[in-house]
Structure 1
Amino acid sequence: QGIQPGPRMVEAQPDVRFLALPAARESIAAALAETVSGRILKAGKRGARGFDAAVDLICRVAALALAAGNALQQIELNPVTVGAHGAVAVDAALVGAA
Structure 2
Amino acid sequence: MMYWDGGGWAWMMFMPLLWIALIGLIVWAAVRLAHRPGGGQSEGDRPGPGPRHETPREILDRRYASGEIDSDTYREAREHLADQPPRQR
TM-score if structure 1 supplies the norm length?
0.25
Q: Which of the two has greater helix per residue?
A: 2
TM-score if structure 2 supplies the norm length?
0.27
Bigger-Rg structure (1/2): 2
Q: Which of the two has greater strand per residue?
A: 1
Structure with greater contact order relative to length (CA < 8 Å, sep ≥ 6): 1
